[in-house]
Amino acid sequence: RYALSRLVDMNYQARVGIMAAGCYGLPQFRLRVFFWGALPSEELPQFPLPTHDVVVRYWPPPEFERNVVAYDEGQPLELDDAVLLTDAISDLPPVTNCESSDEMQYSKPPETKFQKYIRSMNYEMIGSDITKQEAILYDHRPHQLFEDDYIRGANFRDLSGIVVGDDNVVRRDPNTKAVLLPSGRPLVPEYVFTFEHGKSKRPFGRLWWDETMATVVTYPNCHSQVVLHPEQDRVLTVRECARLQGFPDDYRFCGTVKERYRQVGNAVAIPVAKALGYALGIASQKLIGKEPLMTLPPKFAYSNRL
């Protein structure tokens, strides 16, 4: 509200929208707030309506619901299916918790529309002088789990010595002796009993292929997030997180592994930025009406030619 009022005070036209990245073809929800501002002499850009169905993971406070960029109830929809984790990363080669290579070869061809698009962008962009060649996969390495976390190997609710009450709160089983790890630390760490008052299911949670991620963040912390790969004993790699943000596979990240995760997590999701950029371009050419929302062209999500 403050940002919007400041824009108006400075004599800008202003518009606010809350957009979910999953609505534009990604397997994460990622709800974010965006502002448009324009001088009175310019056209105020519209917000682009969704192109995909989405798995809703959370929702803004009631007072901001009307700012969510979405179709009205009862409005006819022609949305593509929601993109799931399997659509985005099932073609990537398996790697271990200790993987240290920054470059590797793909082990199989793309299997989905999303994968074909994300792997082909490097030589199909307009004006690109890159020729189609044997592609290299970059940044497909994870932040290495600490030994204790690796040994635990399961969601904490499935570990020995835990009871779950009718109130969904986890407690230590008073009838079971606490199991210790080789390090001397408890198999079930103390913080899981206090995190979200013992009701969370996220610590050491494992994703699954038919799910989506709530939000890609700047650090894959398995203590408080569901970030473990569906089948491999590790957190999602930098490249897997980058795909969930819509980065093309030829986009390389810099710095340490932690710094690369931060670059990915801090970014605006690529399909959202692309949709907003299209809306800005249309407004700059004065090709819009006065409505706050616009419809993107057919097959916009997987097109490099706008």
195 inside domain: no
The answer to whether residues 273 and 84 touch, using CB atoms and an 8 Å cutoff, is no
Task: Dump strand ranges (E) for 121-222.
Answer: 136-138, 162-164, 170-172, 205-206
Question: What's residue 126's pLDDT?
Answer: 46
Closest CA to 240 of 122, 115, 145, 136: 115
Structurally, how many domains does the chain consist of?
Answer: 1
53 part of a folded domain: yes
User: Do the Cβ atoms of 46 and 283 come closer than 8 Å?
Assistant: yes
Q: Does the pLDDT at position 289 exceed 70? A: yes
* Sequence-ordered alpha helix ranges (H) in 125-212: 147-152, 191-194
- Distance, CA of 282 to CA of 278 (rounded, Å): 6
Cβ atoms 226, 241 nearer than 8 A: no
pLDDT higher than 70, residue 142: yes
Residue 119: inside a domain: no
What's the pLDDT score for residue 44?
95
The confidence score (pLDDT) of residue 145 equals 95
Please indicate, yes or no, if residue 155 is contained in any of the structural domains.
no
How many angstroms separate the CA atoms of 241 and 139, rounded? 10
Give CA separation, 182 vs 144, 152, 178, 233, 240, in Å.
Answer: 18, 11, 13, 19, 31
Q: Give the per-residue pLDDT at 124.
A: 53
Q: Is residue 200, in this structure, part of any structural domain at all?
A: no
In the chain, what are the helix, strand and coil shares in percent, each to the nearest 5? 30, 15, 55
Written as six digits, the tokens of 88 are 């985005």
Assessment of whether the complete model's pTM goes beyond 0.75:
yes
Structural domain including 298 reads 2-81+269-302
Q: What is the Cα–Cα distance from 257 to 220, expressed in whole angstroms?
A: 11
pLDDT of 123 strictly over 60: no
Instruction: Locate the DSSP E strands across 2-106.
Output: 13-20, 31-38, 47-48, 103-105
Is 153 a member of any domain?
no
- Is the residue at 76 inside a domain? yes
Residue 216 lies in a domain: no
Is residue 146 within 8 Å of 138, Cβ to Cβ? no
Bigger pLDDT: 127 or 24? 24
